[in-house]
Amino acid sequence: SAVISQKPSRDICQRGTSLTIQCQVDSQVTMMFWYRQQPGQSLTLIATANQGSEATYESGFVIDKFPISRPNLTFSTLTVSNMSPEDSSIYLCSVDSGPSYNEQFFGPGTRLTVL
Partner 1 sequence: GESVGLHLPTLSVQEGDNSIINCAYSNSASDYFIWYKQESGKGPQFIIDIRSNMDKRQGQRVTVLLNKTVKHLSLQIAATQPGDSAVYFCAEKETGAGSYQLTFGKGTKLSVIP
Question: Residue 60, Cβ neighbours under 10 Å: how many?
Answer: 9
| Among positions 1, 18, 27, 84, the unique one binding partner 1 when judged by CB under 8 A | 1
- Candidate segments 14-22, 33-41, 60-68, 73-81, binder of partner 1 by CB under 8 A: 33-41
CB of 48 to partner 1, least distance (A): 6
Per rule CB under 8 A, count of chain residues that contact partner 1: 25
Asked if 108 touches partner 1 (CB under 8 A), the answer is yes
CB of 45 to partner 1, least distance (A): 6
Q: Give yes or no for a contact between 48 and 29, defined as CB atoms under 8 angstroms apart.
A: no
Residues 78-107 that bind partner 1 (CB under 8 A): 92, 94, 96, 102-107
CB of 6 to partner 1, least distance (A): 8
Kindly list the distances between the CA atom of residue 4 and the CA atoms of 70, 100, 104, 107, in Å, as whole numbers in the listed order. Answer: 15, 19, 11, 5
Q: What phi, psi does 53 have (nearest 5°)?
A: -145, 165
| Burial of 58: CB neighbours in 10 Å, binned 0-12, 13-18, 19+ | middle
Quickly list DSSP for 46-84.
Answer: EEEEETTSPPEEPTT--TTTS-EEEEETTEEEEEE-S--
Nearer to partner 1 by Cβ, of 31 and 81: the residue is 31
Instruction: Give me the residues that bind partner 1 (CB under 8 A), please.
Output: 1, 4, 31, 33, 39-45, 48, 58, 92, 94, 96, 102-109, 111
